[in-house]
Amino acid sequence: MYVLIDKKKSRGIIIAAALIIIAVAVTACILLFHEGVSENTVFPENVYGVSVHTRLLPVWTPKRPGIPRKIKYIVIHETGNRNNGADASAHSDYLRSVNGETASWHYTVDDKEIYHHIPDNEVAWHAGDGLSRNGGNRNGIGIELCVNSDGDFEKTFINAAKLTAYLLKQYGLTVKAIKQHADFIDKNCPETIRNTGRTEEFISLVSVYLNESPPE
């Protein structure tokens, strides 16, 4: 009888210890994700002289579901918001605001700076193709270019090319990985670049930065 009780106690101790270890591991993962720490991704502070501000969205929310994925593309978009003041900072605030929309992306670029919203190796909802295999959401880093009327789109264009080159280098991709929103669904986006026939110009500019070393 004594041996039976001892075995039960031992089994209970082992189960309790296992549960504690699992709880600690889960808590650690939650804390890491909420702090924006994620493996196999980068959090740049500066790309080719352009400041990058990381303001990650809360994880496991509709806009940031926390789904890990393999990075295959850099997907170029434009915000379509021509209002004065609709710069990268304003779009960061918009993404963090409480509303019923699920649309999200990884970076917003304007003529002065860049904001980083979701870790590169997590899914964001920017390509309009759900979680389709080899799709933009599932495999693409979404970059939105600001088109606000009080901004300088030419500088935004250059800054986006710098960010694209940086990301291609970081993830071992070539310019063939540069895609547009329109490559995944029937939408004229990035509108300004497409309407003015500047797609190849953008890719060429990215190639220039790919052959340069980012300034320290």
CATH assignment at residue 114: 3.40.80.10
3-state helix, strand, coil in the chain (%, to 5): 40, 15, 45
Q: Can you tell me the distance from the alpha carbon of 114 to that of 92, in angstroms, rounded to the nearest whole number?
A: 10
Per-residue confidence band for 35, with pLDDT thresholds at 50, 70 and 90: very low
Residues 57, 133, single domain; the answer is yes
Classify residue 109: in a domain, yes or no. yes
Classify residue 123: in a domain, yes or no. yes
Tell me what percent of the residues of the chain surpass a pLDDT of 70.
80
Phi-psi region at 146: left, alpha or beta (left = phi > 0; alpha = psi -120 to 50):
beta
Mean pLDDT of 152-173: 97
Going from the C-alpha of 31 to that of each of 20, 45, 153, the distances in angstroms are 16, 22, 38
Per-residue confidence band for 72, with pLDDT thresholds at 50, 70 and 90: very high
Residues 25, 72, single domain; the answer is no
Amino acid identity of residue 167, one-letter, is L
The pTM of the full predicted model, rounded to 2 decimals, is: 0.81
Contacts of residue 73, Cβ cutoff 8 Å, sequence gap at least 6 = 136, 139, 140, 141, 173, 177, 178, 179
Residues 163, 198, single domain; the answer is yes
> Which residue range(s) make up the domain with 3?
1-35
